Structure 1
Amino acid sequence: MTARGARRPKIFYGWYIAAAGFVSQFMFGVLMFHSFGTYVALMQADFGWSRTTFSFAFAAQRIESGVLGPIQGWVIDTYGPRKVMIFGIVLFSVGFVLLSRVESLPLFYISFTLIAIGSSLGSFLSVLVAIVNWFRRRRVLATGVLTMGFAVGGLTATPMALLIEGIGWRDAAFASGVVSLVVGIPLALVVRHRPEPYGMLPDGVQSSSLVAGEPEQIEWSMTAREALTTSAFWFLALGQASALLVIGALMVHLVIYIHEDLGYTLGLAALAVTIQTFGQIIGQLLSTAFGDRVPKRPFVILALLGHSAAMLLLALADGLPMIYVAVVINGIAWGSRGPLMMGLRADYFGPRRFGTIMGFSSLVIMLG
């Protein structure tokens, strides 16, 4: 950290926040999102619970994320992301420890709820709010660094599945709780809400206004109420809802569709998920490289059309080549759309109440 007027550090502190976000997204992706299918399969074998039982838990998590979104966003905007992250990481850790002790369905629902709420509070939105405040001209690049962690974590799905199966899901869950606490808390301590209290400006620029004795230019921002009255808010929220509908459908049904409906081996079906992850990484690399230099809106529209094209190709697919082409297109659209949409929101609505506005967007997406 540095005071205004002191020598500017070689690496702007905002990049440390983006790096901490990358690691946190990687951690949450590896421990929960990319591994929970393995937990479900092993717990189903142990307890004999139906798929509907687990589907209900995931559906409840989506509802929780949408309903609590505005509250979470307001808390982050008001009290800062670091405190929210620490609280979320503790909940996430406790949830996994409880999961390792599950013997009944009610305890499973309690533990999964804690994990879901903890992951929501402890990572993406909290760091994203900080990034939007610490960056202006390079927001898409910084956001891409953040989201890349989740995509890279997807590459660990197969070894994590083998590890969880090898040591047992209970020991894996307990270890996940410990790891998330030991790794997550130091990451949260890196995150700061805004650069100005630490004598810095967004992007690490030096303020010429200080030399001239003029007031600094503050980026214009909307309140959440003002944002809700704009067509941009609704178009972005509904566009993201449609994209997540495609992504969610593929996450649940892609492997089953290839394996059971088309008759390919489980290995070839799982390969489609890996190929999609590589496509997602390519999309994120493209958006982070060019997203701050080109108009965002046309490329967001192109990404949404990519999701639609992927679903059409999958519906018409009669063999693996067309399926693999479809998942590459969907992965690139997925990876590029996220950072661009976040950057576009920040451009439209500004940083000051970005968390609250994102929270209301989550509510609209859930209802959609």
Structure 2
Amino acid sequence: MRITALWGKPARLFYGWRIVGAGAAINAIGGGSFFYGFSVFFLPITEALNLARAQTSLVFSLSRLEGGLEGPVAGYLTDKLGPRIMIIAGTLMTGVGYILLSRVGSFTELLLVYLGLVALGANTGLTSAVIVAVNSWFIRHRGLAMALALSGFSLGGAIIAPLISQGIKFFEWRTTMILVGLSYFILIPLALPFRRSPESMGLVPDGGPPTQGPAPSLDATVPLHGGEDRDYTVREAMRSPSYWLLILASMFRLGVIVSLTVHFVAIMVWKGTSIEMGALLLGALAILTIPGRIVFGFMGDRWQKSKVIAVFLLPGIPALLLLAYTQSFWGLWVFIFTYAIADSLGPVNWAIIGDYFGRRSYGTLRGILTFFTSWGGIILPVMAGAIYDRWETYQPTLLVFAGLMAASALVFAIVPKPSPPARAVQKTVS
């Protein structure tokens, strides 16, 4: 595939954009079924296994805990082995896990299969590996590249969540689980284009002019093009106040986003819709986040990413308050259109880590951040389920979510961009 360069000569499309395209396809299937799909399976599994909502929520929360615990290890392995191996391994585990989920008959079996195969494979080998790969291939266009790759999540949610609900309606949930599992094997060929870094192919990030002489190393501290790169070690990053403020802000934001997604269809049913309509509304929310992801990714490449997140999280606060109190079907649509703005900021959130701390240890640093931020996604879904089991309402939960969204916006607003590590400054000066 060729494009025309500004000076009129044909130029090959930068290989990094191929990785973005493959990553978007992987996220469409993986994110659509693992992230959004759990919300659609939530009530059928709860009813079939005779569980409380807090129990079903606990399964997803424990998967977040597992993802947090394995995050640093998975990030380290992705940094060392490369994303291709991790994606293939994660695909096989998750696909087999979904097929086995169709056979579970108890809460214990559900826990063992979901945590031991589905969540383990998805957490270690799918989205995380894609994000690490994209971060390695881009610096100046990191926000946009992340946005395009993670828009696959939204597209998958828009398509796969309604398909899952229809599958449950016509085939019941166990057969639908098998079909979801089989769909994961499509991802194996999509992993083949992934390369560890542009340097491994004699290229530089963002598609700059090829370097002369030996290919540069990913460990190089001095930027090789117009964009700024800052390669912190893990120890250096963990000594930075910015890293810990970023963890706190991300924990609040992700806790709300993840928990609302887990309970989304159940909340819509609480508001008076059917499961099928709830899944359709979830798909609508997912597809509405696509333009936001791209626009905010573009904005994040031009302005400070933390400020972009702080500003555009704010519409999520009145949206959650509206959801807590509205009794109107049209009120649900107003919520979805407004909340989609705040739900579109994930790519910018992950791109900040690369902007602030570089490429060399990105997978490990993202994994450590995931360990801490996962606690929001562990505690809040169970809390929401327990409150509903006790009082049959989601209203107090949604008020808590609105407060946490406000806290996240505040912390993002004050996160400073750290200076390059001292050794990088010394090397540049010398």
Q: Same fold (TM over 0.5)?
A: yes
1:140 aligns with 2:143: yes
Alignment equivalent of 1:221, drawn from 220, 231, 237: 231
Alignment equivalent of 1:245, drawn from 255, 258, 266: 255
RMSD: 2.8
Deviates more, 1:273-282 or 1:228-237: 273-282
Residue matched to 2:334: 325
Residue matched to 2:290: 281
Contact 2:36–2:261 (8 Å) recurs in 1 = no
Q: Identity rate of aligned residues, in percent?
A: 31
Deviation of the 1:254 alpha carbon: 4.6
Deviation of the 1:270 alpha carbon: 5.2
Whole-Å separation in 2 of the counterparts to 1:119 and 1:80: 16
Deviation of the 1:128 alpha carbon: 0.9
Contact 1:246–1:307 (8 Å) recurs in 2 = no
Contact 2:151–2:293 (8 Å) recurs in 1 = yes
Alignment equivalent of 2:91, drawn from 85, 89, 92: 89
1:257-304, Cα deviation, whole Å (9 max, x unpaired): 4543x5566676555434432431231131234332333232111123
Residue matched to 1:302: 311
Whole-Å separation in 1 of the counterparts to 2:267 and 2:373: 25
- Partner-residue secondary structure (3-state), 2:314: helix
Contact 2:70–2:124 (8 Å) recurs in 1 = no
Amino acid at match of 2:27: Q
Whole-Å separation in 2 of the counterparts to 1:133 and 1:199: 14
After superposition, residues 10-159 of structure 1 pair within 5 angstroms as 10-113=12-115, 114-156=117-159, 157-159=161-163
The alpha-carbon distance between structure 1 residues 273 and 120, as it changes in their structure 2 partners (threshold 3 A), is same
Contact 1:98–1:107 (8 Å) recurs in 2 = no
Alignment equivalent of 2:198, drawn from 186, 192, 195: 195
Residue matched to 1:349: 357
Whole-Å separation in 1 of the counterparts to 2:85 and 2:262: 33
1:148-203, Cα deviation, whole Å (9 max, x unpaired): 0110111122232112432343333233333312x121112211111112111111
Whole-Å separation in 1 of the counterparts to 2:283 and 2:99: 29
Deviates more, 1:198-207 or 1:297-306: 297-306
Whole-Å separation in 2 of the counterparts to 1:105 and 1:247: 25
Q: Which ranges of structure 1 fall in alignment gaps of 5 or more residues?
A: 1-6
Residue matched to 1:4: none
Corresponding pairs, count? 357
- Partner-residue secondary structure (3-state), 2:251: helix
The alpha-carbon distance between structure 1 residues 42 and 298, as it changes in their structure 2 partners (threshold 3 A), is closer
Whole-Å separation in 2 of the counterparts to 1:164 and 1:320: 24
Contact 1:275–1:324 (8 Å) recurs in 2 = no
Residue matched to 1:3: none
1:366 aligns with 2:369: no
Deviation of the 1:141 alpha carbon: 1.2
The alpha-carbon distance between structure 1 residues 318 and 21, as it changes in their structure 2 partners (threshold 3 A), is same
- Partner-residue secondary structure (3-state), 2:310: helix
- Partner-residue secondary structure (3-state), 1:294: coil
Whole-Å separation in 1 of the counterparts to 2:324 and 2:172: 37
Deviation of the 1:119 alpha carbon: 0.8
Whole-Å separation in 1 of the counterparts to 2:172 and 2:320: 36
Whole-Å separation in 1 of the counterparts to 2:272 and 2:322: 18
Residue matched to 2:395: none
Deviation of the 1:24 alpha carbon: 0.5
Whole-Å separation in 2 of the counterparts to 1:288 and 1:263: 35
Whole-Å separation in 1 of the counterparts to 2:278 and 2:44: 19
